Structure 1
Amino acid sequence: MAGSKITAIFFLILYAVLLYLVFTMQNMLAMYLMAIGMFLEACEGVYHNFFKH
């Protein structure tokens, strides 16, 4: 749910790094990164729904 091109590119890079971590078997770090990414996407959704008109 990217609100702009910059956030879309940011999350694309974030999840590309996440994919790399999964393929290199660094699963705990991948889980931390996934949790951070999901939290940031949720924050962006709340911002766009409640504060941006």
Structure 2
Amino acid sequence: MLGWALTFFIVAIVAGILGFAGIAGAAAGIAKIIFMIFVVLLVISLVANALRGKTPKL
């Protein structure tokens, strides 16, 4: 999911450089939404792991 956010971020940067403001804004908005979903799922995963009492295996 983080890969998708980075992809949309790069698309937004390239579109902004080329002057496509509408596409750049849309891609940046999508990237922000996907990144926030990633962060929320990461926090939920970390809390669930902590509540289970198991330490992460490296």
Same-fold call, TM cutoff 0.5: yes
Number of residue pairs matched by the alignment: 46
Partner of 1:3: none
- 2:30 aligned partner: 36
Q: Which has the higher contact order (CA 8 A, sep 6+)?
A: 1
Give the C-alpha shift of residue 16 in structure 1. 2.1
Identity %: 11
Coordinate RMSD, CA, aligned = 1.7
Residue in structure 2 matching 1:49, options 26, 34, 43? 43
TM-score, with length taken from structure 1: 0.69
**TM-score, normalising length: structure 2:** 0.64
In terms of Rg, which structure is larger? Answer: 2
Would you identify which runs of 4 or more consecutive aligned residues in structure 1 move more than 3 Å?
9-13
Q: Give the Cα–Cα distance (whole angstroms) in 2 for the partners of residues 26 and 34 of structure 1.
A: 12
**Structure 2 unaligned residues grouped into runs of 5+:** 50-58
Gaps of 5+ in 1: 1-5
Work out the CA distance in 2 between the residues paired with 1:29 and 1:37: 12
